[in-house]
Structure 1
Amino acid sequence: MGPEDGWVPLLPEKDDGAAVITPAGGGGWTAAPLRSFCEDVWREAYLIWYIAGPAILTSIFQYSMSSVTQTLVGHLGTLELAAVGIQNLVISGIGFGVMLGMGSALETLCGQAFGAGEHRMMGIYMQRSWVILLSTAAVLTVPYLFASPILRLLGQSAEIAELAGKFSLWMIPELFAFAINFPIMKFLQAQSRVMVMMWISAAVLALHLLLSWLFIVKLGTGLVGAAITLNFTWWLLVAGQLSYVVSGCCKDSWTGFSWLAFADLTNFLGLSLASAVMLCLEYWIYMVVIILAGLLKNPEIAVDAASICMNVEGWIFMIPFGLIAAISVRVSNELGAGRPKAARFSVLVVIMISVVLQSTFALLIFLTRKDFPIIFTGDKLVREEVTRLAPFLCSTVLLASVQPVLSGVAVGAGWQTTVAYINLGCYYLLGIAPGALLGFKFGLGLEGLWGGVIIGVVVQTIILSVITLRTDWDKEVLSAKERIAVWGGSAGVHSDGIS
């Protein structure tokens, strides 16, 4: 068994006669005299990038599907760009955030089950997640159906709300694709089977580029063509990943469909909801900024500029998003395997990597602040507004070097409920409230709104840093073992498969 089988060893094996860093009996890292701290970091970085590299590319490829659509639509006109932008960030943002958040419960459960050697329960966990997410998706069709009145109620102009509402109706199939896709992703990530997701996502993106150009540009079908291609490629992505899972490539973790998928749904729903609340409070903060931007003077300019900045941030966030996946897997696997010091050391290495990368991106944005807006729009006023927002975008990118990684640690350790309360207080009481005051009362516009968000992120990062530093990782190992036992990991899976 090796990396090509979806398994990653705790450390790369070496047999050169030199002293080797190995897991200590209590689960930590012991450095022999001839090995330095840098070698410890190098070995852990190998494990991190084995997961994070393909995960980053997978995130970029999947995010690029909606980004490509939005970019092509942006050249149809400012109204179309504003409508698709606000639908993507507000209406689809609700569905995406809830589905991704609830699916993230599997990062805790599958990751810890894999580390503990309870592989068979992983397939059961994924099926339970499908049951819950598909049911939730059916409920979430309501904001899609009533998108126009919802957006008008939130203060958006009639033209933007009407067009965004039509686009929302066409995008309902995408919502159900999210419900199937995210549990599969977390299921595969927990086993470090990230390469296959990367290749499937790359192939689907290539097809999406071709179809988007054909329908939106060549055939001139506008928003209808945009919806057709986006829905089709998301479901194609789901079909590709699901085919891999059921083909026998995951024979240890996928033993067929089981009636156990309908057992213990109440407890599973609790963790799923906590995961969703934690992530959605964080993800939706930018949705709120877009909504408030629509209440400013010249709403089309404000919404377009904010949408472009969020688009850029979304692209760059794929880097920490991949690192989040890696640290969630590493922490959950190590806690499930009873290695607390390895989990703590992994957190340190990921933060070091993230700080270097995000600082580089922030510098690039600042240096190209007058040039990169041209990629998204030909409107001079929108480009100027994006340039003014660039310093705030840079600040957010810098903060994303630590904050998302700490959130990934929380998911891997199962702290979702605690972090949900932290996010509520930091983002909305300490972020949006002063941001709205700065933006409207003091006339600072988008700069004021975004400044408030930055305040909230700073406070949240400080709190999560303190919690992580004060964590008793030995106690977290015991919690992981208890969670696996309570959720049926020790019971295994018997002859109850139905496929």
Structure 2
Amino acid sequence: MDQPLLPKRKTEEKKWVLTWDGFVEEIKRVSCMAAPMMVASVTLYLLQVVSLMMAGHLSELSLSGVSIATSFTNVTGFSLLVGLSGGLETLCGQAYGAEQYKKFGSYTYCAIISLIVTSIPVSVLWIFMDRLLIAIGQDPDISIVACQYAIRLIPALFAYSILQPLLRYFQSQSLIHPILTSTCAALGFHIPLCWALIYKWELGNAGAAFAIGASYWLNVILLALYMVFSSSCGKTRTIYWNDIFSSITKFFHLALPSAVMVCLEWWTFELVILLAGLLPDPKLQTSVLSVCLTTTSLHFYVQYGIGAAGSTRISNELGAGNHQAALVAVQAVLIISITEAAIASIILFFCRHIFGYAFSNDEGVVHYVAELAPLLCLSLVLDGLQAIFSGIARGCGWQHVGAYVNLGAYYLVATPLAVLLCFVLHLGSKGLWTGLLIGSVAQVTSFAVITALTNWQKQAATARERIFEGSILADNGLA
């Protein structure tokens, strides 16, 4: 029987949260959860990357069409579902800490239903993607290929709308091994299936899209089977239909700002790639920024695993009313994040002259990547901190604050500065990436100040009021 990696220790709370040994123990707890979460998040990300790489070898038109389709579907669909499901990290995490298992299950099923409904208008948008792309000036042939690929991704969208809540369901209980097993199994299934559909059965781009859908559905089935048959989920899987529908308002109260927080940042990086296409040497500029974006995206998913572990620990402890333990979890996850980001940045800096060859054999691209490497190293650190602070925000229920921070950092600071540095001061890709970097500094600084000034005892009271709706605050001495 799979037991949670991080069992609650209420009776030992006062003994360990205020000591050095307790702090070290918390680092171990977060690390034990973060390591498999890092692998799982990167593995899930690689599904679309594998399909893109295999489809890209068919032809230049195929690579262009699938690349645009991947970008468009991520921006309009997959990122939206990731953002919406972030509301569960607050609700489920705090409900589990408060031992409100009935509400825990209701929040999960409410999210699944809500995300499935949300996927319907998104899928309609994808059907007419070619018209939208042509309207904004994209090549008609590329637009048609992109639209065909997106239409065949619709089954994957609906699988994703179930998968994301299920991932939060297990994560909030610290049941990470099922997530790790299912995502690795899905990737192992995806690689040969994608190759067979594209090359053996000659389905081309359609095969790449179908493989993603099949892999997502396999992931969903494996997690659902574990949820149904494992005794570890016995307390949280029961369905209470009345509670499910009554939870919709509370879910969207956190899910919508969570989606805004995620999408605002995601859209900014996609916008920068589009802006690179307006530069004098668009092929070089776009290629270099794509390398930078791919690198930071891959590293972000590593840090996202750490942030997810922090989100779970913080939400569980706040739900249980243990504000000191939540603060210790914040400190522990920040130290782990900074350590990992520093190591990754140092390695990248010393490999900067050969790093570009991993993506291209073009000497111009490799040289330009080496020039941007110092900025890229700083981005790894800042993006890592951003992932952690976002996890802290989700654990506490600060999604609305995160939405405002990202709006200011990326659309009042990063984007205007990127345009100014690139097109007015003629710094090219360096200017675009510097603008993003300054926006990240503003974002991380804002989150750091908010976290440092937080009254954690008040956060614990707010968490329990959210879960119990104010009915037992006085009994627990938190009112």
Q: Hey, what does 2:93 align to over in structure 1?
A: 111
Task: State the shift of 1:314 in Å.
Answer: 2.0
In the other structure, the counterpart of 2:14 is: 24
Name the SS of the counterpart of 2:384 in structure 1: coil
Partners of 1:391 and 1:94 lie apart in 2 by 32
Q: Would the aligned equivalents of 1:246 and 1:256 in 2 still touch at CA under 8 Å?
A: no
- Given candidates 240, 256, 272, the residue that maps to 2:255 is 272
Q: Is it true that 1:262 corresponds to 2:245 in the alignment?
A: yes
**CA shift in 2, pair 1:445/1:161, >3 Å:** farther
Aligned-residue offset at 1:431 = 0.4
Stretches of structure 1 lacking an aligned partner (at least 5 in a row): 14-21, 32-36, 491-499
Instruction: Tell me if structure 2 keeps the 8 A contact 1:327–1:350.
Output: yes
Counterpart residue type for residue 274 of structure 2: I
Task: Describe the shift of the 1:439–1:77 C-alpha distance in structure 2 as closer, same or farther (beyond 3 A).
Answer: farther
388, 398, 401: which one aligns with 2:381:
398
Task: Say if 1:149 and 1:290 are closer, same or farther in 2 by CA, change over 3 A.
Answer: farther
In structure 2, the residue matched to 1:44 is 26
1:444-494 superposed Cα distances (whole Å, 9 cap, x missing partner): 22222221111111011111101100100010011011100229999xxxx
Contact 1:113 / 1:489 at 8 angstroms: preserved in 2?
no
Indicate the residue corresponding to 1:34 in structure 2.
none
Distance 2:286 2:221 in 1: 34
1:330 aligns with 2:313: yes
- Matches of 2:350 and 2:13, distance apart in 1: 44
Alignment-derived partner of residue 323 in structure 2: 340
Quickly say closer, same or farther: Cα 1:273–1:432, change in 2 above 3 A: same
Give the stretch that moved more between structures: 420-429 or 65-74: 65-74
1:446 aligned to 429, 437, 441, which one? 429
Specify the code of the residue in structure 2 equivalent to 1:168.
A
Matched to 2:6, the amino acid is V
Aligned counterparts of 1:472 and 1:63: Cα–Cα separation in 2:
35
Match of 1:17 in 2: none
Counterpart of 2:131 in structure 1 is: 149
Aligned match of 1:6 in 4, 7, 19? 4
User: Could you tell which deviates more after superposition, 394-403 or 383-392?
Assistant: 383-392
Sort the Cα spacing of 1:306 and 1:300 in 2 relative to 1 into closer, same or farther, 3 A: same
- Structure 2 gap ranges (5+): 474-479
Matched-pair identity in %: 34
Cα distance in structure 1, aligned partners of 2:426 and 2:246? 54
- Partner residue of 2:228? 246
Q: Distance in 1 between matches of 2:472 and 2:128?
A: 42
Question: Residues 161 and 439 from structure 1, CA distance in 2 versus in 1: closer, same or farther, beyond 3 angstroms?
Answer: farther
**Alpha-carbon distance change, 164 to 378 in structure 1, aligned in 2, over 3 angstroms:** farther
The amino acid of 1:181's aligned partner reads: L
Shift of 1:384: 4.7
- Asked if the contact 1:71/1:376 (under 8 Å) is kept, the reply is no
Structure 1 residues 393 and 177, CA, compared in 2 at 3 Å: closer, same or farther? farther
Match of 2:415? Answer: 432
Q: Aligned pair in 2 of structure 1 residues 227, 300: CA closer, same or farther (>3 Å)?
A: farther
Between the two proteins, the alignment pairs up a number of residues equal to 472
- State the shift of 1:413 in Å: 0.5
Query: Which letter does structure 2 place at the counterpart of 1:198?
Result: L
Amino acid at match of 2:123: T
Q: Secondary structure at the match of 2:175?
A: coil
Structure 2: which amino acid aligns with 1:30?
L
1:277-288 → structure 2 map (5 Å cutoff):
277-288=260-271
- The residue that corresponds to 2:151 in the other structure is 169
* CA RMSD, 1 decimal: 2.5
> 8 Å contact 1:147–1:165 — kept in the other structure?
yes
Q: Tell me the amino acid that sits aligned with residue 196 of structure 2.
A: L
Report what 1:200 is aligned to: 182
Question: Shift of the alpha carbon at 1:268?
Answer: 2.1
Q: Deviations over 1:402-438 (max 9, x none)?
A: 2211111111000111111111011111001110222
Per the normalisation by structure 1, the TM-score is: 0.88
Shift of 1:76: 3.8
TM-superposition CA deviations, 1:70-108 (whole Å, max 9, x none) = 233344455433332332233323211110111011100
- The counterpart of 1:316, out of the listed 289, 299, 307, is 299
- The structure 1 residue matched to 2:62, chosen from 80, 96, 99, is 80
Distance in 2 of aligned mates of 1:357 and 1:54 = 15
Aligned to 2:477: none
**Which range moves more in the overlay, 406-415 or 74-83?**
74-83
Tell me the distance in 1 between the aligned counterparts of 2:136 and 2:128. 12
Q: Does the 8 Å contact 2:112/2:161 carry over to 1? A: yes
**1:493 match:** none
Deviation at 1:111, TM superposition (A): 0.4
Q: Distance in 1 between the 2:10 and 2:457 partners?
A: 24
- Counterparts of 2:58 and 2:373 in 1: how far apart (Å)? 25
Change over 3 Å in CA distance of 1:101–1:247 after alignment to 2: same
Compared with structure 1, are the counterparts of its residues 299 and 259 closer, same or farther at alpha carbon in structure 2 (3 Å cutoff)? farther
CA distance in 1, matches of 2:353, 2:132: 35
Residue type of the alignment partner of 2:164: F
Q: 1:372 to 1:7 in 2, by over 3 A?
A: closer
Retained in 1: the 8 A contact 2:107–2:247? Answer: no
CA shift for structure 1 position 158: 4.2
Deviation at 1:366, TM superposition (A): 2.7
- Check 1:148–1:300 CA distance in 2 against 1; reply closer, same or farther (3 A cut): farther
The C-alpha deviation readout for 1:197-238, integer Å capped at 9, x for no partner, is: 101111111111112233334555432221121121111111
Aligned to 1:494: none
Alpha-carbon distance, 1:295 to partner: 3.0
Q: Distance in 2 between matches of 1:307 and 1:230?
A: 22
Q: 2:164 is matched with which residue: 167, 172, 182?
A: 182
Q: Does the CA contact (< 8 Å) of 1:75 and 1:377 recur in 2?
A: no
Contact 2:300–2:387, Cα closer than 8 Å, also in 1: no
Whether the aligned pair in 1 keeps the contact of 2:257 and 2:400 (CA below 8 Å) is: yes
**Shift of residue 183 of structure 1?**
0.5
